[in-house]
Amino acid sequence: MLLSQADLRHLMETAFVPMLCKCTITPDGLMSLELTHPGTHAQAFGMNGIQVAELDNGRAIASLVLGIREKLRLRQVLAMTASSFR
C-alpha cells in the first residue's frame, strides 16, 4: 500500500486528535511530526527524520502511530509523577 504524500500527511495529522499534528515531508522522503496541545498550543512531542519509504503498509503506519502515542502517554505519567513529588 503506497499512499500519496498528501494522503500520508492527512492520515498522520488526524491520527492524534484531539492533539494538533503538523506533518511535513521533505522532497528526499523524510517526515517530521510536531504535536501540540489544542488549548495551549504548547509542543507535546516532536519527531524528525522518519523515512517515508518505510511506511509502505498499514502495519508500519499503525506501529509508528502507536509508538508515538505510547511515548506521549509515558511523558504524561512522568509529568504527573514528578508533580506529585513537589
Determine the structural domain holding residue 44 and report its residue range. 5-84
Q: How many structural domains comprise the chain?
A: 1
Question: From the CB of residue 23, how many other CB atoms can be counted at a distance below 10 Å?
Answer: 20
Residue 38's alpha-carbon distances to 16, 25, 35, 86, in angstroms, are 11, 22, 9, 26
pLDDT tens track, the chain, 86 positions:
578 999 999 999 999 999 999 999 999 999 999 999 999 999 999 999 999 999 999 999 999 999 999 999 998 888 878 777 76
pLDDT of residue 78: 84
Q: Where are the beta strands (DSSP E) in 1-86?
A: 20-25, 30-36, 43-51
Supply the pTM of this predicted model. 0.85
Strand order in the sheet with 30-36: 20-25, 30-36, 43-51
- Report the alpha-carbon distance of residue 20 to residue 44 in Å, rounded: 10
